[in-house]
Chains A and B, each alone.
Chain A
């Protein structure tokens, strides 16, 4: 059974720091992995989608990497800003499970001015 773990559960950093959020999964048979952002009381905003054949994806100050064989993904945020404060969730799409996303519990990020 696929399990997704995110470390750390919470992170507080001063503005301007570069930071790394980690996501690990137990079953490497995935189609893709997606990083989302969730603001309090809001829905999910897709940040980056990495296909199983890809190693990384970049969007602005965000870079996500995928090492499928070791079951790991990292989300790198460069030059963090207070507006980056949110919960970051990773989700994997398993091969053969009828398109259900399997989710981590998220990393709650606070970027302090």
Chain B
């Protein structure tokens, strides 16, 4: 597609509920990233995929967070047993290049605003 698409745009979850956030990167983009942005803060790295391989998940806050990109295109970020501190905007970004091609800028989606009540 023309840009990075994320769905849903808004999600309200009750505490303890599981949620799944979807990211459709730009077609053909090798690298895909998830970031978490709390109110008034800059984005914080969560995880990075090169094609279907999850090369870095060091930013995932706890084992309640899980991300996958099984076919190297669409990615899903799943949060189990949501807590209030999970409330944030979850941003997805993609770039054309992989590990060895770092000259590309990042294209971000519009994000999913998650509110846990």
Could you list which residues of chain A lie within 8 angstroms of chain B, going by C-beta atoms? Answer: 4, 31-32, 34, 36, 41-46, 49, 51, 89, 91, 93, 98-101, 103-106
Inter-chain CB contacts under 8 Å: number: 63
Known contacts being A31-B102, A32-B102, is A99 close to B31, with CB within 8 Å?
yes
Complex Cα gap A106–B110 (Å): 17
Instruction: A91 to B105: give the CA distance in the assembly, Å.
Output: 10
Given contacts A46-B107, A99-B33, contact A104 B113 (CB under 8 A): no
CA distance A93 to B109 in the complex (A): 19
Min CB distance A22 to B, Å, is 15
* Interface check B103, CB cutoff 8 A: yes
* Chain B interface extent, by class: 20 to 34
B residues in contact (CB < 8 Å) with A? 6, 31, 33, 35, 40-45, 48, 55-56, 59, 89, 91, 93, 99, 102-111, 113
Chain B residues, CB < 8 A from A36: 108
Name the contact of A103 in the complex, choosing from B42, B104, B111 (C-beta under 8 A). Answer: B42
Contact, CB under 8 Å: A101 / B106? yes
Q: Which residues of B contact A101 (CB under 8 A)?
A: 33, 35, 43, 45, 106
Nearest B-chain residue to A46, judged by Cβ: B105
Pairs across A and B, CB under 8 Å, 16 listed: A31-B103, A41-B113, A42-B110, A42-B111, A43-B110, A46-B105, A46-B107, A89-B42, A91-B43, A93-B102, A99-B33, A99-B56, A101-B35, A103-B43, A104-B42, A105-B41
